Amino acid sequence: MAKKSVSRVKNVVRDLCPPLAWRGLQRVKAGLRPAIERVQGGHPSAQDLDVYWDDEMAALLESWGEGNVWNEIQLLLHESHGRVLDIACGTGKTMEVLSRFPRLDITGCDISDLLISKARERGIPASKLSVADATKLEYPDGAFEYSYSIGSFEHFTDAGLDSVIAESARVTSRAAFHMVPVSRSNKDEGWMKTYQSFFNNSVEWWMAKYGHAFPRVVALDSAWNDSLSVGKWFACYKEAER
């Protein structure tokens, strides 16, 4: 009976992990914590960063967007041309996916030198990659026509999120596309933790966040989902609708 209970708990935890997390969680065999931890008041004190220097997490980044977000970012950008910034580019897999569109000149940045080294190993030129804190980008105003992020902004603290959205708006001249999970309940469930901490809030909460920096924001469905969340793209435009 005890064995079956442990197995059930393991299956629940696996089902509840946000993208990228399950294989990393498998390493944590001892002292299994509850499947979900919620921070009282729903506000984080710090962002989990150690995971971005984990080789197993880097390996997960090579496949987690198959069949959903990697198809979707191609649809969003396939008719665009110009300079594009991949914010929190990880191992550069999304940049590789988009390399089929020669009119896009893509640059990537990430806080992890490990992940940036993986991007270089896949053949992305070092001149197109940088180690950077996304809340304090060193690019000039309007340096890119477009920017995007995928499954990243939900992991920032409240203050960090405001900063990274503002920075995305500052360095982008036309539009930014940001995919994040929103709560299945469409309620503000706050800051929670499975293997990695993240916000699991409503579409309206995210719309307000992006609306502080962009005059027009449109929420679009993503095919990505898990037991806690469904994916949403927030298409953020620098000009209001005419």
pLDDT at 42: 59
Q: Where are the alpha helices (DSSP H) in the chain?
A: 2-16, 22-26, 55-60, 69-77, 93-98, 113-121, 158-171, 203-211
Domain layout of the chain by residue ranges:
2-237
Predicted confidence (pLDDT) per residue in 72-129, tens digit: 999 999 999 999 999 999 999 999 999 999 999 999 999 999 999 999 999 999 999 9
Determine the residue type at 116: I
Q: Using alpha carbons, select from 220, 193, 206, 241 the residue that is nearest to residue 76.
A: 220
The CA distance from 225 to 217, in Å, is 21
Give the global pTM.
0.84
pLDDT at 46: 76
CATH number given to 2-237: 3.40.50.150
Predicted confidence (pLDDT) per residue in 17-75, tens digit: 444 443 344 333 333 334 566 665 556 677 878 888 988 888 988 998 999 999 999 99
- Burial (CB count <10 Å: 0-12, 13-18, 19+), residue 74: middle
The length of the chain in residues reads: 242
Q: Using alpha carbons, select from 35, 15, 22 the residue that is nearest to residue 194.
A: 35
